[in-house]
A and B are shown apart, each in its own frame.
Chain A
Amino acid sequence: MKLLTFVKEALEGRKLATAGAIWLLIIVVAGIAAPLIAPFDPLEIDPIARLSEPGTPYLFGTDHFGRDTFSRAVYGARMALIIGIGSVMVALLCGGLVGMLSGYFTGLGHVLMRMVDVLMAFPALLLALVLMTVLERSVFNTILVIGIVYATTTARILFGMMLKLKNEVFIDAARCSGAGHLSLLFRHILPNLLSPILVQATFIFAFAQLQAAALDFLGLGLPPEVPSWGNMLAEERIYITRAPWLLIFPGVLIILSVFSMNLLGDALRDRIDPRFKDDIAGV
Chain B
Amino acid sequence: MSDANPAGDVLLELCNLRTWYPAGRGVLGRNTEWVKAVDDVSFTIRRGETFGLVGESGCGKTTLGRSILRLERPQSGQVIFDGEDVLSLPPSRLKQVRRNMQAIFQDPYGSLDPRMKVRDLIAEGLVVQGEMRRDERDARVAELVDVVGLRREHLDRYPHEFSGGQRQRIGIARALALRPKFVLADEPVSALDLSVQSQVLNLLSDLQVEFGLTYLFIAHDLSVVEYISDRVGVMYLGRIVELASAEALYDDPRMPYTQALLSAIPGSEQATGRKRIILGGDVPSPLNPPSGCPFRTRCWLARDVCRDVVPPLREVKTDHFAACHFADEF
Co-assembled chains A and B: no
